[in-house]
Amino acid sequence: APILPIFREAILNGNPEQKEQAAHGLSEVIELTSAEALKPSVVNIAGPLIRILGDRFTWNVKVAVLDTLSLLLSKVGALLRPFIPQLQQTFIKALNDGHRSVRLRAANALSQLITVHNRCDPVFTELHNAIKSSANSDDWALRDTMLHALRLSITPAGDKMSDSVRRQLTATIVSLLGLPDDSCRSTAGACLGVLCAWLPNDELNSIAKDHLLDDDLTVDWTLRHGRSVALRISLKEASNRLIKEEWVDRICKTLIAFINSDRVQIVINGIKGSAYLIKQYLVKSQIPPQILLTAFARGLNHTSNEVKQTVAISTTFIAKSSDGSFPSVLFKTLVPLLVNGTKEKNSMVRVNSEHALVAFLKLRSGDEVLNACLSALDSGAVESLQDCINKTLKKIAAQQHEPKEEEFDDSLLI
Residues (pLDDT < 70) of the chain are: 136-137, 400-405
Q: Please indicate, yes or no, if residue 336 is contained in any of the structural domains.
A: yes
Give the domain range for residue 367.
290-405
Q: Please indicate, yes or no, if residue 350 is contained in any of the structural domains.
A: yes
Q: Please indicate, yes or no, if residue 378 is contained in any of the structural domains.
A: yes
Confirm whether pTM is higher than 0.95. Answer: no
**The pLDDT of residue 53:** 83
Q: Please indicate, yes or no, if residue 26 is contained in any of the structural domains.
A: no
User: Distance (Å, rounded) from C-alpha 71 to C-alpha 49?
Assistant: 12
**The pLDDT of residue 400:** 63
Q: Please indicate, yes or no, if residue 37 is contained in any of the structural domains.
A: no
How many domains is the chain partitioned into structurally? Answer: 1
Q: Please indicate, yes or no, if residue 294 is contained in any of the structural domains.
A: yes
**The pLDDT of residue 139:** 80
Q: Please indicate, yes or no, if residue 25 is contained in any of the structural domains.
A: no
User: Sign of torsion, CA 78 81 83 88?
Assistant: positive
User: Distance (Å, rounded) from C-alpha 73 to C-alpha 123?
Assistant: 16
Q: Please indicate, yes or no, if residue 313 is contained in any of the structural domains.
A: yes
